[in-house]
Structures are given as structure tokens and as C-alpha cells.
Amino acid sequence: MKPDKTPLILGILAVALALVYFLPLQIYVRHILILTLLYAFLGTGWNLMCGYAGRLSLGHSAFVAVGAYTSLLLFANFGITPWIGMLAGGVFAVIVMLLIAYPSFRFGVKGPYFTLGSIALAEIVHNLLIYFREYTGGSLGMSLPYQPTSLALFQFDGKEPYYIIILVFWLAAVFLTWKMERTRYYLEAIREDDDAAAALGISVNKNLIIAACISAFLVAIGGTFYVQYYRYIDPYSIAGFTLSLNIALVVVIGGSGTILGPTIGSFLIIPITEILRMSLGASMPGLHLFLYGILLILCIIFLPKGITSIPGIMRAKKAKKDNQLNQGAEGVL
């Protein structure tokens, strides 16, 4: 077995991204980097459940929303620091995930049925947020009460601290995925063939539920980060279908069920979307998302297994070519 190069690649990547912190970047570039890392983080969380379990969730915005609203409500009403609110939101998201994941794994809800169920979950959260408008502000959304820069309250005036925080979050999530894939949760085996894994005595359901809960926890933390960074949330942006779809897309385009797929996907998609938005958004509303949709369809058609599959495809092509050469040589002999 060849040695796993993942920690090395991860280390280099993390150091490189940490060095970026010291570059004199424009605010706007820094914003794109933060957003990219946020999506890489959310995607990594999504991937832990969906990429490995082969179940496509298009409702993960439900957990983002649970995380964001929990920490925001705790802070706005009781003055509890978002750092604790973040953990509370994570726990709350895990409970919501258990409510849906346990029955769906137990009853073997798979394929499109699982996807539709996940969409329904996000819709329920979305509708409830609007319904409880006395507390959540309904469709109008909620703002984060402003505080001057304070690490204890997770609020900063500049963008730099947010960059470091999301970088740490992202690194932790990717490292966790690597650990879970390699060790006792057998995610790799489950991804390849869950029936075979079950036959080998791996408790597929238990491991999947654990992965699902960690996934919900991470994504909810992303929700808290979102509200601390943007300082404003509303049900459409944070519990809407578009966010769910974007999280899934980043992973599918990058390569689902791989450790760095979500990160690669995010670094490709998010800057493109943001640059399209900046250059075209004002002159013609909708054009940038129109182009984005087309780009996405093209990606899916031409790279159905995501960007991380490119080296594999190249190797296969080379092997085929070598094979043909060898056969040719045999023919001559």
C-alpha cells in the first residue's frame, strides 16, 4: 500500500493559506477568500454525510439556519457569547439531524427519496422561521447587535480575524474527514459498497448516523460563522434552496466522497461566482447566475465524477495507451 500523502498536501495547503493572511490584499479579495473557505468548510461538512453515504442532501441549509439562528437568538436575547451559541446551535442541529437521519437510515430511504426528504426538511425550517416572526423577524430577517471588536463576542471590525477563524475551522473539518475515512468509521468502505461493508460486520447504519451528526454539527457552526461575518440573516438566504444547492454543488463539482474535493470545488466555483457577480451583477441582474448555471451543467456533463477524478482519468488513458503499445510490441515479436 502506498503511503497516504493527504497530511502532507493538507499541511502545505494550510501553510500557504496562512501565509496569504500576511499579503496586503484588497478587502474585496479577502472577502472572496473568506467566502471560499466558508463554502469549503460547509462542503466538507456536507461531504462527510452525503459524499460518503451516497445520499444526496439538498436540504443542508436547514442546519446552517439552525446554527445561525440559535447563536444569534441566544446572543440577541440573553447576551450569550456566540462561541457558546455556536456549540449550542451545533447540538441543536445534531438533534434535528437525528430526527431525520435515524428514520431514513433505519427504513432505508435512499436515492431521490432521500433528496426530496432533505428538501422538505429545509422547507419546514424555512416556513417555521417565517411563522415565528415575533422571535425571528420573519421574512424581514434579523441583524446581529453591533459590538466593537471583541474576540470574546466573535465580532471584529476588520476582515482578517474572520479569515483566520474560518481557516482554522476548515482545517479542522478536513482533518476530521481524513481521520474518519481512515479509522474506525470505515467511511471509505461504506462509500465503495455499503452492502459489502455490512457483510464484513461494519455497522453501516451506526457509522452513517455518526457521520451525519458530525456533518450537521459542522454545517451549523458554519451558520454561526455566517451570521457573525455578515451580521444579518433572513430565511431566504440562510434556509433557502439556493444555499443548500450551492453547498452540494461545491462538493459534486470538486469530487464527492474525497477529502479535498469540497475544497477544490469551492476554490474553483466561489471565486468565479463572485467575480461574475461583481462584473455583471449590477449591469444586468441575473446574468451572472445564468452563466453560473450553464457552467455547472457543463461541469456535470463533462466531469461527472468531479475535478478530483481528473488524475484518475489521465492515468486510465495513459494505461490504455501503454497497453496498446505493449500489445503492438507483442504482435511484432
Q: Which residue ranges make up the site for other proteins (CB under 8 A)?
A: 56, 58, 100, 103-104, 107-113, 115-117, 119-121, 123-124, 127-128, 130-131, 241, 245, 248-249, 252, 256, 284-287, 289-290, 292-294, 296-297, 300-301, 304-305
Of residues 95 and 300, the one with the C-beta less far from other proteins: 300
What is the closest distance, in whole angstroms, from the C-beta atom of residue 264 to other proteins in the complex?
A: 16
What is the closest distance, in whole angstroms, from the C-beta atom of residue 209 to other proteins in the complex?
A: 15
Taking the C-alpha atoms of residue 72 and residue 221, their distance in angstroms, rounded to an integer, is 12
Q: Are the beta carbons of 161 and 35 closer than 8 angstroms?
A: no
Of residues 30 and 288, the one with the C-beta less far from other proteins: 288
Q: Are the beta carbons of 65 and 126 closer than 8 angstroms?
A: yes
Of residues 158 and 293, the one with the C-beta less far from other proteins: 293
Taking the C-alpha atoms of residue 76 and residue 59, their distance in angstroms, rounded to an integer, is 26
Of residues 28 and 131, the one with the C-beta less far from other proteins: 131
What is the closest distance, in whole angstroms, from the C-beta atom of residue 206 to other proteins in the complex?
A: 19
Residues 6+ apart with CB under 8 A from 120: 59
What is the closest distance, in whole angstroms, from the C-beta atom of residue 58 to other proteins in the complex?
A: 7
What is the closest distance, in whole angstroms, from the C-beta atom of residue 104 to other proteins in the complex?
A: 7
Residues 6+ apart with CB under 8 A from 224: 67, 68, 70, 71, 72, 82, 85, 86, 89, 154
Helix-then-strand count for the chain, H and E = 15, 2
CB count within 10 Å of CB 26 equals: 8
Residue 8, helix vs strand vs coil: helix
Of residues 112 and 331, the one with the C-beta less far from other proteins: 112
